[in-house]
Every structure is written in C-alpha cells, then in structure tokens.
C-alpha cells in the first residue's frame, strides 16, 4: 500500500530535487505542495523541468495544509521546521531537510544558529554507525547537512577503526546551489563564474559542529574538526578533501582494508579502485557518494576525498533513503542509481 507525502518548501532547490526523486518512487504518492512567498503560484514557474507537476498550485505552508498525509517533508530554512512539526501528529513521518533537529548539543545549536534548541531527531545518514537502527520505524528524521554528508562518509571508516588521531581537517568545495535558490551577491553568476572563493573561515560555518558530532559518534570519543568551505563556479556538487594524523604503526594497507570493510556493502557509498579519484561530475543526479583514500607517508596523514551531488545524496536523496528505512522499504527504492554525463 502506498504512502502519501506533502512537501513544504517545494519551490526551492531542495524541494524541487525531492519532487524529482519522488516522481519515480513506486511507494510514495505526491500530495500537497507548499511554499512561503511563492504560495499561490504554479510549481512550473519555479521548476519547469518537473513537467508532471507543473500545474500544481503551491499552498501556504502551515500544519493545516500539510495535515492528512502519511509523510511530511520540510524543505525549509533553519528555524522554521520545529513549530510546524510540533503541530503534526506522532503518527506522521516528518522528515526535516533543514537544520533544526540535527545537533545533539543544545549549546552548539545556540552558538551557531542563535536561537533556542528545538531538540534532536534520529539522524538521517544511514552510513554512520548506528544510524540505520535509529531510523528503523522512526516517525521523525533529521536530514544531515550536505557538507557533513560528504565529509563524514569520507572519514568515518578511519575513526570507526581508530586509525587516526581525533583531529580532522576538511576543506570542501560546493556548487552555488548549496546556498539555496534566493539570489545572493556571493552566488549570482557574475560573482561565481570564473572564480573560486571561500567563506565562514576559522570554524564559523554552521556545519562545523555537525562534522564533529558525526565523527565523534564513529570514534566513540571527541573529535575536533577544522572545516573550511568553498564555492566553485558550478551549479551542484561537493568535493571534500579530508585528512587526519595517522596513529603510530598504521599503514596504507590497513587504511584501504578498513575502508573496504565499511563501504563494501553500502548501496550508496563506494570506495573507488586505487588510482581513481572522485570528481563532482561523477555524481550529478545520483544518490551516490564516491570515496578514495590514501596515506601521505611524508606527513603521516590519512587523506580521504569524497564527492556527492549536494542536492541528491547531500539533501533530497539522503532524505528519501532514510525515509525508506523508516517505512521498512528496501533502502534503494525510488533512488537514482546512475549519474548524468557529460
């Protein structure tokens, strides 16, 4: 029997990508679509590529308009999901693509987001140790940030097997869609084309505590993360370059064997053959994370590189993957398994 789903924030990038995926999901029927300032307009005015839904008129975003569905996806800016979720019944599966319920530490939330912590929901990164158990049968899911999705998949095998010291460095470059659909001076074409820039340097990015939280879960001990994000002149994709000091006696063979053990059975996280390095172009439109790992012998560091599509595996695809687990469906149901090239 199928499930009905409402999507709040349907006119944004995350909402549009979610709808693209749900159109091919055999067990989920798309119901009400809502928006904020774009309420009252047809979806096709914002996502003309979604032909089958183009005539749907966007409703106002409220608990009342979202009620009556089995699943509610909230693709809203941070701080807007908690109030709506509180009005939805416990029998509804609520999947928050925003940040409101990702962090376990209330002080971290307040420090990075500047408001009261709304609580913590099961974390929607199935590859992270323990996550699938927490997601099974869940009625609330917090979808990870796109940067932490990529960097966590790159590093968690090393921390799960205690191969590296608890101090990671992540430098990741994202396409401009990671900043959302609303035009900003730093993301319009005239600023992005032909230029690579960095921002939120020195631990200021809001995904920093999420990185530390995830890798600490994998390690079973506190891990610090120095995270530097960058924007590249491309619409979508993330490439995360990650490193950490090796513990004494750990070899390159130890590292590769650990990654093979942790990723061999993952449907959407893959260790590439030796000598092949991930690129964002390999992942466009697919729900896959591609990983390569090596050892910098001279520096005594593990180096792991991962690539994802920030809108697919990094947001909407990850949301559907976690939703499948919560509903007891095969994890891969309805998810794009092949990318787009060239």
pLDDT in tens, 29-61: 999 999 999 999 999 999 999 999 999 999 999
Could you read off the pLDDT of 140-160 as tens digits, one per residue? Answer: 999 999 999 999 999 999 999
Residue intervals of the chain classified under CATH 3.40.50.720 are 3-144+313-327
- Global pTM? 0.95
Instruction: Read off the pLDDT of residues 286-308 as tens digits, 9 standing for 90 and up.
Output: 999 999 999 999 999 999 999 99
71 phi/psi in degrees, rounded to 5:
-130, 140
- Fold assignment, 3-144+313-327: Rossmann fold (3.40.50)
**pLDDT at res. 78:** 87
Looking up tokens 């420090």, which residue turns up?
Answer: 111
Are 196 and 172 a contacting pair, CB within 8 Å? no
| Residue-wise pLDDT tens digits, 327-339 | 999 999 999 988 8
> Domain 147-310 maps to which CATH number in 3.30.360.10, 3.40.50.720, 3.40.630.10, 3.40.50.2300?
3.30.360.10
Asked if the model's pLDDT at residue 241 lies above 60, the reply is yes
Would you say 139 and 90 are in contact if contact means Cβ atoms under 8 Å apart? yes
What per-residue confidence (pLDDT) applies to 199? 92
Model confidence over 2-31: pLDDT tens digits? Answer: 899 999 999 999 999 999 999 999 999 999
Whether the per-residue pLDDT at 341 is higher than 90: the answer is: no
Q: Which residues pair with 191 in a beta bridge?
A: none
- Enumerate residues 6+ apart whose C-beta is below 8 A from 105: 209, 213
Q: Following DSSP, what letter does each residue of 107-172 receive, concatenated?
A: HHHHHHH-S-------B--TTSTTHHHHHTT-SEEEPPPHHHHHHHHHHHHHHHTT-B-SEEEEEE
Q: Where in the chain are all domains bearing CATH 3.30.360.10?
A: 147-310
The closest of 43, 89, 49 to 66, measured between CA atoms, is 89
**Percent of the chain beyond pLDDT 70?**
98
Q: Are the beta carbons of 104 and 39 closer than 8 angstroms?
A: no
Torsion angles phi and psi, residue 122, rounded to 5: -50, 135
Q: Could you give the dihedral angle defined by the CA atoms of residues 184, 188, 192 and 193, in that order, rounded to the nearest 10 degrees?
A: 180
Does residue 342 have a cis peptide bond before it, meaning omega lies within 30 degrees of 0?
Answer: yes
Give the pLDDT confidence score for residue 337 in this predicted structure: 86
The model's confidence at residue 1, banded by pLDDT at 50, 70 and 90, is low
Tell me what percent of the chain is helix, strand and coil, each rounded to the nearest 5.
30, 25, 45
Which residue numbers are catalytic? 146
CA distance 289 to 307: 6
Q: Is residue 243 scored above 60 in pLDDT?
A: yes
């Amino acid at each position: 029997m199928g499930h009905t789903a409402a999507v709040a924030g349907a006119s944004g990038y995350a909402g549009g990508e979610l709808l693209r995926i749900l159109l091919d999901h055999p067990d989920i029927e798309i119901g009400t679509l809502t928006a904020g300032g774009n309420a009252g307009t047809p979806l096709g005015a914002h996502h003309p590529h979604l032909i089958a839904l183009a005539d749907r008129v966007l409703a106002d975003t409220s608990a009342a308009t979202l009620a009556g569905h089995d699943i509610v996806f909230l693709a809203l800016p941070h701080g807007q999901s908690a109030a709506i979720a509180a009005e939805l019944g416990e029998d509804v599966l609520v999947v928050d693509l925003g940040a409101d319920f990702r962090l376990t530490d209330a002080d971290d939330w307040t420090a990075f987001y500047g408001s009261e912590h709304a609580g913590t929901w099961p974390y929607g990164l199935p590859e992270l140790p323990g996550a699938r158990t927490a997601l099974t049968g869940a009625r609330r899911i917090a979808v990870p940030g796109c940067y932490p999705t990529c960097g966590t998949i790159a590093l968690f095998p090393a921390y799960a097997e205690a191969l590296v010291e608890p101090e990671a460095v992540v430098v990741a470059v994202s396409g401009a869609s990671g900043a959302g659909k609303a035009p900003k001076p730093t993301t319009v074409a005239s600023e992005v084309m032909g230029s690579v820039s960095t921002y939120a340097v020195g631990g200021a990015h809001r995904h920093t505590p999420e990185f530390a939280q995830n890798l600490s879960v994998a390690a079973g001990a506190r891990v610090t993360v120095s995270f530097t994000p960058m924007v590249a002149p491309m619409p979508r994709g993330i490439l995360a370059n990650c490193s950490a000091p090796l513990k004494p006696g750990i070899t390159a063979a130890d590292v590769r064997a650990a990654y093979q053990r942790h990723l061999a059975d993952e449907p959407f996280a893959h260790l590439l053959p030796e000598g092949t390095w991930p690129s964002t172009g390999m992942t466009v439109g697919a729900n896959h994370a591609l990983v390569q790992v090596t050892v910098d012998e001279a520096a005594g560091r593990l180096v792991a590189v991962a690539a994802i599509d920030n809108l697919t595996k990094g947001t909407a695809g990850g949301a559907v993957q976690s939703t499948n687990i919560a509903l007891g469906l095969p994890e891969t149901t309805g998810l794009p398994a092949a990318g787009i090239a060239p």
